[in-house]
Amino acid sequence: MSNDLYSDIIVIGGGPAGSTVATKLVRQGFSVRLFEKEKFPRPHVGESLLPFCYPIFEDLGVLDILKKKFVRKPGACFVNQDGQDEMNYCFNKVIDEEMSLSFHVRRDEFDQILLDNSKANGVDVYEEHRVVKTKIDEGGCTVSVADKSASQAIYNTKFIVDASGRDCLMAKANKTLEPIEDMDRVAVSVHWKCKEIPIALRSGSVRITYLDGDNRKGWIWCIPISPSRVSMGVVVDSQYYKSAIKDLRKQSSDWQKAYYLNELQSSLSISNIMAEMEIDGDLVVNGNYSYKSTQKYGDQFALVGDSAQFIDPIFASGVYIAMKSASLVADGIVEKINDNQSSKLEKAYEIINNGYAVVHNLIKLYYNPSILNFADSNLFGQNKGSQFSEHNHSFALIHLLLAGDFFEKGDVYLPFLESLKNESQLNRWKNLIGWDKHVSKDHHDDQDCGKTFEQIFNLANLQ
């Protein structure tokens, strides 16, 4: 075995999951190689992050640079399609003040920061190197890698971490990938530029607008990623998308843009936001929006982030799930390599699968507004006093879920989501969640979450 082609661990993919797991493992004394097919920085969707990313950023040592570089995110605002009703869920209602202020990021810059941090910690990073094949047997693992000139080399390792994102390299090769029922979605998105951030986005909250009717099962995201730039995307059911574009293909050579603008203009509130901006860039279309691998790990490999599972990202959970799952799995890999034990790895995936299940059930609730309409300001009653107090605890939990608290407490949140259909069952879960500390304030609508424009947009650095 050639020493220059050997490392203890090989990580496939340099996105948030790959860089996180690589950094944590190299800190444990392992030699780690990371192969990334692209040259960073590169564009990517998924710009809105959850507050529960905060401890991971602290652990990785990147929190201070994120504070200086990116727009802050104080909450999530859900809006009905007609724009007549909306609810802003402020994270500072349920979690500590500092952690409550999350981030909106440009993913090209954010992912570069994480990958550079991996390099600084000692990970050997190879950009523009595509993994074309993996092989696992009792004697060890091999990874075949092609560089940008298509020249190939075979690397040897004890353990492979697949963080290849939606390429799902190992799941596809092992034929373990399957769709998630009734979650097949298509997303079309692009950045917009403006002289000033539209009024509706000045609070800094991610803005999620329902798309109703015609079997859309959809939503629109608006994310202010700088004082002069907004990410805006449309997500709909794939069958609706195919039907909607059928005639447009015949009518226009730029049918994707026509479809995208039609969907945005179907919402009055979005039309008002569009009037203050113009498109700046090329449309990005992403399909295959919900899937999972039926085998996420083995004795010599593990899948993390989107390579293991991906679900409709209504609640901006993608980056957090990727980084949290990578952190949990890294601890399991350490035990597996050092002690040949799998208990921590098994526990990690039990937690991860529970987290996915919670998000999946929350998504299903979103698509059934007759049960729970996140944009309904009357959820708390017309009088946000005595009537509201009856629902204070339950909506504290909704705030916590939207902030990202769905991993370690997944076994509690799953029955809680069921209990939303029957308010009388809620008392059973109060002690389990430890939520007394979360209900000292009212959790009702707060348009600016108590933050100034300057605090959100960090004007000293974001010009």
Domains of the chain and any CATH numbers: 3-70+105-178+290-359 (3.50.50.60)
Q: Count other C-beta atoms under 10 Å from residue 368's C-beta.
A: 11
CB 89 within 8 A of CB 397: no
Q: Percentages helix, strand, coil for the chain, rounded to the nearest 5?
A: 40, 25, 35
Written as one letter, the residue type at 395 is F
CB 24 within 8 A of CB 121: no
For 419, list phi and psi in degrees, rounded to 5.
-70, -15
Q: What is the rounded distance in angstroms from the CA atom of residue 317 to the CA atom of residue 221?
A: 13
Nearest to 398 by CA among 436, 353, 364, 362: 362
**What's the confidence (pLDDT) of residue 395?**
62
What are the b/e assignments for 68-105, b being 16+ CB within 10 Å? ebbbbbbbbbbbbbebeebbbbbbbbbbeeebbbbbbb
Q: What is the rounded distance in angstroms from the CA atom of residue 72 to the CA atom of residue 232?
A: 17
Q: What is the rounded distance in angstroms from the CA atom of residue 194 to the CA atom of residue 223?
A: 13
pTM, two decimals, is 0.90
Nearest to 21 by CA among 294, 292, 298, 302: 302
For tokens 């902030």, the residue is 403
Nearest to 208 by CA among 149, 273, 146: 273
**What's the confidence (pLDDT) of residue 408?**
79
Written as one letter, the residue type at 238 is S
> Which residues lie below 8 Å from residue 36, measured CB to CB, with a gap of 6+?
13, 14, 18, 115, 125, 126, 127, 128, 129
Q: What is the rounded distance in angstroms from the CA atom of residue 312 to the CA atom of residue 290?
A: 6
Q: What is the rounded distance in angstroms from the CA atom of residue 41 to the CA atom of residue 64?
A: 20
Q: What is the rounded distance in angstroms from the CA atom of residue 61 to the CA atom of residue 65?
A: 9
**What's the confidence (pLDDT) of residue 388?**
37
Q: Count other C-beta atoms under 10 Å from residue 374's C-beta.
A: 23
Q: What is the rounded distance in angstroms from the CA atom of residue 144 to the CA atom of residue 152?
A: 7
Query: What distances in angstroms separate CA 121 from CA 16, 31, 220, 290, 446, one per listed residue?
Result: 15, 11, 38, 33, 41
pLDDT in tens, the chain (463 residues): 346 799 999 999 999 999 999 999 999 999 999 999 999 999 888 899 999 999 999 999 999 999 999 999 999 999 998 888 898 999 998 887 789 999 999 999 999 999 999 999 999 999 999 999 999 988 889 999 999 999 999 999 999 999 999 999 999 999 999 998 888 899 999 999 999 999 999 999 999 999 987 788 899 999 999 999 999 999 999 999 999 999 899 888 899 999 999 999 999 999 999 998 999 999 999 887 789 999 999 999 999 999 999 988 888 899 999 999 999 999 999 999 999 999 999 999 999 999 999 999 899 888 888 777 888 876 644 444 333 344 455 567 777 888 888 887 887 888 878 777 665 554 454 444 444 444 444 444 566 788 899 989 975 465 5
Task: Please provide the DSSP assignment of 112-175 as one string.
Answer: HHHHHHHHHTT-EEEET-EEEEEEEETTEEEEEEE-TT--EEEEEEEEEEE--GGG-HHHHHTT
Q: Count other C-beta atoms under 10 Å from residue 304's C-beta.
A: 36
Task: Please provide the DSSP assignment of 158-222 as one string.
Answer: EEEEE--GGG-HHHHHTT-EEEPTT--EEEEEEEEE-SS--GGGTT--EEEEEE-STT--EEEEE
**What's the confidence (pLDDT) of residue 412?**
80
Instruction: Look at residue 226 and give its three-state secondary structure.
Output: strand
